[in-house]
């Protein structure tokens, strides 16, 4: 992206001063991440409201879709756009894969059921030297940045290494997130690099729920293309079977999370569900997308869901 396009992104996400490119710093990183997440929904509408289901993840396509066409995306889209912006701003940053605990939302008390390498997140190094091995993470200045996990992700950079057990906000007080070194001795006959576990809980009285695990190994664009193709085309994948849209929203200056999963809308604030609606028609869902997520679908996109199993068929 050009310098002017980076400034266009900063203006679009309401970064406090978009007239100049901000210097790389932890403070600016925190601001960019929360601005990004307040602007771009986590959504997979491009797999449903279309006649040709396709998710393009090159930076140019993402900039056109998300900034110029005011849409969101799922993890690959959100985090690749965020990576592209941070890289242009001279952050020392790389992409890593994660395995998602597929029990984290519907069956959080069960043992983790790990997905393939289907989630993408970012690591930023504020240290004076590049990372060459795992030992660097014992005394470095590294932060995990994830702008695209959806419902239970963190809204601020979380530091590595984990020198002490410390939780961080999710943007939805009193919810908390934490990263710990994973104990993989329960997985037999494997030689694993150092692996980390990301956990979430709705408030301090609740047990921690495992969301995903990741290593610090760099992934290449070709790796991401393979994973993106699988998650966006496999007929048994969550994303091809479910209309999903999550977004952080501000209500009276307080953070809340709006969510659509198929035909249900929920608004979570202060650790509680304060609004729940059943969407009884496509018109209801389209109106909800526009009101809460600022997504206005075109007539062609709306026509694209007709006949699909994810269409809401009015009684």
- 182 vs 193: CA distance, rounded Å: 10
Q: Which residues of the chain register pLDDT less than 50?
A: none
* 195 closest CA partner among 177, 167, 215, 222: 215
Rounded to two decimals, the pTM is 0.92
Predicted local confidence at residue 18, as pLDDT:
82
What does the chain come to in residues? 315
Which of 140, 99, 148 lies closest to 122 in space, CA to CA?
Answer: 148
- Whether 286 contacts 302, CB under 8 Å: yes
- The alpha helices in 13-165, defined as continuous H runs, are 26-39, 59-62, 75-88
Residue 307 Ramachandran class (φ > 0 left, ψ -120 to 50 alpha, else beta): left
Whole-number pLDDT of residue 143: 92
Provide the CA 293 distance to its chain's centre, in angstroms. Answer: 15
Strand order in the sheet with 176-181: 158-160, 142-145, 114-125, 93-101, 209-215, 195-201, 176-181, 168-169
Residue 128: per-residue pLDDT = 64
Please tell me the number of Cα atoms within 13 Å of 106 on its side-chain side. Answer: 5
HSE (side-chain half, CA atoms, 13 Å) at 224:
23
CA distance 169 to 218: 26
Q: Measuring CA to CA, which residue among 163, 202, 203 is closest to residue 179?
A: 163
Tokens 């018109």 locate to 283
CB 7 within 8 A of CB 19: yes
Confidence at residue 216, expressed as pLDDT on a 0 to 100 scale = 87
């Amino acid at each position: 992206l050009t310098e002017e396009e980076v400034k266009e992104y900063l203006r679009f996400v309401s970064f406090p001063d978009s007239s100049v490119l901000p210097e790389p710093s932890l403070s600016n990183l925190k601001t960019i991440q929360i601005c990004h997440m307040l602007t771009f929904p986590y959504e997979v509408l491009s797999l449903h409201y279309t006649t040709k289901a396709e998710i393009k993840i090159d930076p140019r396509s993402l900039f056109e879709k998300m900034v110029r066409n005011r849409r969101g995306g799922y993890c690959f889209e959100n985090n690749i756009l965020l990576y592209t912006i941070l890289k242009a701003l001279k952050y020392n940053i790389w992409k890593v894969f994660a395995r998602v605990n597929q029990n984290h939302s519907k069956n959080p008390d069960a043992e983790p059921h790990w997905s393939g390498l289907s989630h993408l997140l970012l690591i930023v190094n504020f240290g004076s030297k590049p990372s060459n091995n795992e030992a660097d993470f014992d005394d470095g200045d590294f932060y995990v940045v994830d702008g695209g996990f959806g419902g239970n992700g963190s809204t601020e950079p979380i530091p590595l290494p984990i020198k002490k057990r410390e939780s961080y906000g999710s943007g939805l007080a009193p919810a908390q997130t934490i990263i710990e070194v994973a104990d993989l001795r329960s997985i037999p006959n494997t030689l694993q690099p150092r692996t980390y576990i990301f956990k979430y809980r709705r408030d301090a009285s609740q047990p921690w729920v495992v969301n995903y695990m990741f290593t610090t190994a760099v992934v290449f664009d070709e790796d991401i293309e393979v994973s993106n193709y699988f998650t966006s085309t496999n007929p048994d994948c969550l994303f091809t079977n479910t209309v999903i849209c999550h977004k952080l929203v501000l209500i009276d200056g307080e953070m809340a999370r709006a969510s659509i999963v198929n035909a249900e809308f929920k608004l979570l604030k202060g650790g509680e569900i304060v609004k729940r609606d059943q969407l009884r028609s496509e018109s209801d869902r389209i109106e909800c997308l526009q009101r809460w997520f600022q997504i206005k679908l075109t007539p062609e996109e709306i026509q694209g869901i007709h006949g699909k199993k994810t269409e809401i068929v009015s009684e």
